Amino acid sequence: MFESAEVGHAVDNKTFRKEEEALRIALLQAQFRLREAGRLPVLLLISGVDGAGKSETIQQLYEWLDPRWLSTMAFAEPTDEERERPPMWRYWRALPAKGRIGMFAGSWYSAPIHDRIERDISQATLDTQLDSINRLEAMLVNEGALVLKFWFHLSRDGQKKRLKRLERDPRTAWRVTQTSWDRLKTYDALQDVAGHVLRVSNTAWAPWTIVDGSDDNYRNLLVGRALLEAIERRLAEPRVPAYPVAAPLARRVDDQNVLSALDLSVQIDDERYEKELAHWQGMLAELVRHKRFARRSLVLVFEGMDAAGKGGAIRRVAAAMDPRQYQIVPVAAPTDEERAQPYLWRFWRQVPRWGRATMFDRSWYGRVLVERVEGFCSEEDWLRAYSEINDFEHELAESGAIVLKFWLQIDKAEQLRRFRAREKTAHKQFKITQEDWRNRKKWTRYQDAAVDMIDRTSTGAAPWTVVEANDKRYARIKILRAVCERLEKVLRKG
């Protein structure tokens, strides 16, 4: 795979200066059009062997482009804050907004490659991680991103010569450390692992470009041209190319589903409610203070029809916890900042640390509910969202999060009663809007979307609990009990 990068590519200084002038102008013009269009971000993943010129090429791009619309992120050992969240959390936070170019010096490939070289993970685990990365990159591209991946290569002798040259120059000697020389000893292992990684992750939507790093002029021109051509080609396309990642929905042959099968007449009286409320809130208070919860987090998702009682249920859960321990995230229409990112970005930012809880009053499921029903995204977008959401929740669970999702179901008559009660109650009038009445007219479509959502995203790691919510007291107790039972089961296992 690396043979073509070892044939001795070189560009003399005269040729470089001549081509550099035209390339720089074209890159600035392309960057201006990218910024003006504001419809896609550009991600440059810069990886490769030590001494192959990664930082030099990044610096060259800063000289050629307008640095105000560039950003560079370098990733070293994870911080304590990062270790307490899924591994991809820190990369999601670093994604560039639409219209900007973000360069990752090291990326989500660095840890899997390092861990495999050190034999900390098996080949099967590496392939599983690469599969997840491929799906992530497909999602980013389907959301509009242009993903460019460069692997900077040197032969073993070339790397040794480059490190010695850098070490001799006082201006660059600081860049060569004992770690650099230690990595030279694992050169063969790196080539084996990197070759496999590049082969498995060299996809149509995010291909690799292998760069001969032995000559500065050649390397910089190659990367600059590749960046220019990719931006111009994407800007010339009328729409984002879609890569299919979801199966179509199956047709139902009858009217039975997880919502229609509910008995919404269930209820409990005031006396039993107060008794059980005190019991389950007391139990929850103890569980979130358990020593084993210090290496866990809690993610609760509340969805349901308008006026189903999500807010009241959240308050009863929160009342059992120290306010410093939890965060409630109400989800409305995305802001301009959030629209400039993939739809899951704003939720990744809210992932709690160990020992904390986050409760979402509506959530990432808006993509397959309101955005689907109201036509705010295309069918291919909400169809692929099922697998993207499952991947997101799987990563949460793998990092120690306990994920529970609740769909609060009421019937149409009960919703009407609650709407009218809100209009008559002064301190609740803010909760009823014309949009609520408009959404009510699409009741059947929202119900169909909810059934599909539950069927496709209720997993072992992040199950849905469907809650009969015509009686608010019954709903609140069922939710508290489900949270406590799941917490207790997980913490008991350790």
DSSP letter string over 70-109?
EEEEE--SPPHHHHTS-TTHHHHHTPPPTT-EEEEES-TT
Is residue 47 situated within a structural domain? Answer: yes
Residue 7 CB neighbours (<10 A): 9
Least confident among 208-212, 227-231, 407-411, 422-426: 422-426
Is residue 241 situated within a structural domain? Answer: no
Q: Which residues contact 109 (CB under 8 A, 6 or more apart)?
A: 45, 47, 133, 197, 201
Whole-structure pTM value: 0.90
Q: Do 98 and 10 reside in the same domain of the chain?
A: yes
- In angstroms, the CA 202 to CA 480 distance is 46
Give residue 125's pLDDT: 97
Question: What length is written for the chain?
Answer: 494
Is residue 250 situated within a structural domain? Answer: no
Q: Which residues contact 426 (CB under 8 A, 6 or more apart)?
A: none
pLDDT, one tens digit per residue, over 74-89 is: 998 899 999 999 999 9
Give residue 171's pLDDT: 83
Give residue 431's pLDDT: 77
* Residue 362, Ramachandran bin (φ over 0: left; ψ between -120 and 50: alpha; else beta): left
Is residue 261 situated within a structural domain? Answer: no
Q: Do 223 and 310 reside in the same domain of the chain?
A: no
pLDDT, one tens digit per residue, over 107-136 is: 999 999 999 999 999 999 999 999 999 999
**Cα dihedral 218→223→225→228 (10° resolution):** -160
Boundary-marking domain end, from 211, 236, 261: 236
- Does the structure show a pLDDT above 80 at 351? yes
Q: Which residues contact 49 (CB under 8 A, 6 or more apart)?
A: 152, 153, 154, 159, 183, 187, 190, 213
Q: How confident is the model at residue 45 (pLDDT cuts 50, 70, 90)?
A: very high
Is residue 149 situated within a structural domain? Answer: yes
Q: Do 204 and 328 reside in the same domain of the chain?
A: no
Is residue 369 situated within a structural domain? Answer: yes
Q: Do 186 and 113 reside in the same domain of the chain?
A: yes
Q: Do 199 and 348 reside in the same domain of the chain?
A: no
Q: Do 209 and 281 reside in the same domain of the chain?
A: no
Give residue 242's pLDDT: 67
Tokens for 307? Answer: 């006026």
Give residue 427's pLDDT: 74
Q: Do 403 and 478 reside in the same domain of the chain?
A: yes
Q: Do 42 and 161 reside in the same domain of the chain?
A: yes
Write the CATH number for 17: 3.40.50.300
Boundary-marking domain end, from 194, 210, 236: 236
Q: Do 202 and 291 reside in the same domain of the chain?
A: no
Is residue 257 situated within a structural domain? Answer: no
| Residue 408 belongs to domain spanning | 270-493
- Contact call for residues 303 and 406 (beta carbons, < 8 A): yes
Tokens for 264? Answer: 């919404």
Q: Do 424 and 374 reside in the same domain of the chain?
A: yes
- Does the structure show a pLDDT above 80 at 365? yes
Q: Do 313 and 179 reside in the same domain of the chain?
A: no
Q: How many domains does the chain have?
A: 2
Q: Do 345 and 480 reside in the same domain of the chain?
A: yes
Is residue 333 situated within a structural domain? Answer: yes
